[in-house]
Chain A
């Protein structure tokens, strides 16, 4: 890992080095590349930027957006914005807990699904909305969840029709 990692972040650091307040932007770029911010990289970053590791973790843990663990294959994001909440999102979430056996922020044992809560995906007209990978499914009922997930858990591409 060491050797493949260093040049990547060296580039990122090079790009941002002279800009003030760069840490959050650098962490964004790292998460975009790896899907999360690996601990080894934070170590490297601490050396390259000459900032204490604690300062990096202070930022990583404050902001919900940054992940410290690798994500599952599909991220299932349940919108808990106001419109979705009113139109039944809590039931969808309960059903997902039930079927996947995990809570938000966790990943299923097989690494297939990761459950997340998000706030307003900006398509409130379709509420309640669930996003799987980067596909958005709207107007869902509790009973739709099983079918929706089974499209993904089978091998191959999803066949459900996103709206």
Chain B
């Protein structure tokens, strides 16, 4: 084979034209006796979406879009064979993604330090150690505008500067790899796919603040990430990139791994410190900030995995380059784990300022089963939902905050019309109630009270007063909780209440769940006019809640029904009503 042609219909509509196009392409190749020279492959993903039938030619790497059958002869004779580009068919799709953090993921062998080095790895560290004073690094970082990717978005340079300025002969750096958001895996992918870049970022941070010991705090649920980081650390020691007198300089740093143990609150920095010290992960009030009194009361910098993964690129290309990407106050790129009701679920990295719509539709391919989008959730249990009307806003720290959500660590969940906002609020709140460490009353008691009210709403026993009560409790939790978990736990509740007030009222007043999620608020019955008495529902009901016969027809007993939805799924005649 001399050339390969990839084909895919990227419109994702009801009619997939890939096969048609593929067959015709092969026929035309046969006519020209080229079938042994050119391989045609139907692929699941060509990296572009909504560009009609797309064809990629390798090794020339031409990309054509919006193709019609009539283009095939020209494609073969004028492009595939002579290796020339046909301009008017070229797909001018500019990838909306931009890879800084994920640049090496899936490209290099994460277990081979040589491969990382061959991709400019540890060049930034060498440059910093030989050419830059810590002050110069801080200056570059300031110019870059990089802000923490772990949630709060605090300027990284400032954190480093404060920690540097505290006098102490013992200082620490910690990489926060706890990744608590229950629907996100950005940090895990970076740790698994490019561990050295995180190590390199950590060494630079340690050099700047004057730390002599670094720790990776990684959740135990990520065994592969732990394994990769451990291997990478061992290799870095072998190459003189960790340990005494790194790269012949006077700077020394030891690095070790500490494991989390399944407590979400340990992602919060003060709780994390307690956990690294081998204790229960209880948060403590700030100030004192970790920069002043951190690990074993010594100044400590805590940075998120993705934050550290940005450092080497900034050092190599300069702060100015980095600040050229993104918006006024949010610089660089952000990695999101786009999941839920989206066609192409996965990790994306986009420049800050990309809109939610671009992320969900242009990159994510749109909503699964072409349903209507209802909202996008960002920020996990500390975030909020953003309804469709606001999907044109450019992604950035402030913009998301204004909408009652947060950037968070990068979870992005697409919800469609079948998702109930009360149920979503309940899901996130239950998570926080389960994970509350119980140290302070506003979070422990307030959370449980809120959850009780939400349960009542979804069971149809709440009153309108309860909605007011929920707002009150939420504000109290925000104001009075000790740590970020309790302070933000009510965000999903407040945000769903403010954008979907009607939906809450429908639950409370009409005792109905428009999305058919809250199982106490609807029941199943058979629409006799539509029923053809086929008996499919009767045979499939797992608890025999359907009685009758093919002669007399069927009936569902509301008391026996467990609302499993099986009858609704199996009925081919839309004769099951969920009212």
Q: A residues bordering B, Cβ < 8 Å?
A: 19-25, 27-28, 58-59, 62-66, 80-87, 91, 94, 98, 118-120, 122, 124-125, 127, 142-143
Contact = CB atoms under 8 A, between A and B. Distances in A.
A21 B565 CA distance: 51
Contacts of A82: 182-183, 339-340, 377, 380, 411, 413, 427
Given A118-B221, A124-B345, 13 more contacts: A21-B277, A22-B278, A28-B259, A59-B278, A62-B280, A63-B262, A63-B263, A82-B380, A87-B340, A119-B182, A119-B183, A120-B181, A127-B339
Contact of B277 (A20, A66, A81): A20
Contacts of B258: 21, 24-25
Contact of A65 (B220, B256, B411): B220
Nearest to A77: B221
A159 to B, nearest CB: 24
Contacts of B281: 62-63
Contact of A83 (B256, B277, B345, B431): B345
B155 interface: no
**Which 9 pairs across A and B sit closest by C-beta, in order of nearness?**
A82-B183, A63-B261, A65-B262, A21-B278, A119-B182, A64-B262, A122-B185, A124-B339, A125-B345
Given A82-B183, A124-B185, A124-B339, A65 B261 contact: yes
Nearest to B266: A63
B259 A24 contact: yes
A86 B263 contact: no
B183 A124 contact: yes
A61 to B, nearest CB: 9
A16 B278 CA distance: 12
A24 B281 CA distance: 11
Contacts of A94: 564
B275 interface: yes
Interface residues of B, number: 44
Contacts of A62: 263, 280-281, 437
B261 A66 contact: yes
B185 A120 contact: yes
Nearest to B540: A143
Q: Dominant SS at the B interface?
A: loop
Nearest to A29: B259
B566 interface: yes
A41 to B, nearest CB: 16
A59 B280 contact: yes
B280 A23 contact: no
B346 A125 contact: yes
B296 interface: yes
A153 to B, nearest CB: 19
Most buried by B among A62, A81, A87: A62
A80 B182 contact: yes
Interface in B235-288: 256, 258-263, 275-281
A162 B346 CA distance: 20
B566 A83 contact: no
A81 to B, nearest CB: 4
A144 to B, nearest CB: 13
A27 B278 CA distance: 10
Contacts of A23: 278-279
B261 A81 contact: no
A65 B219 CA distance: 10
Nearest to B346: A125
Interface string B179-203: 0011111001100000000000000
B472 to A, nearest CB: 27
Contacts of B259: 24-25, 28
24 contacts: A20-B277, A21-B277, A21-B278, A21-B279, A23-B279, A24-B275, A28-B220, A62-B281, A63-B262, A63-B263, A65-B220, A65-B221, A65-B261, A82-B411, A83-B183, A86-B340, A86-B341, A86-B419, A91-B565, A94-B564, A118-B221, A122-B222, A124-B183, A127-B345
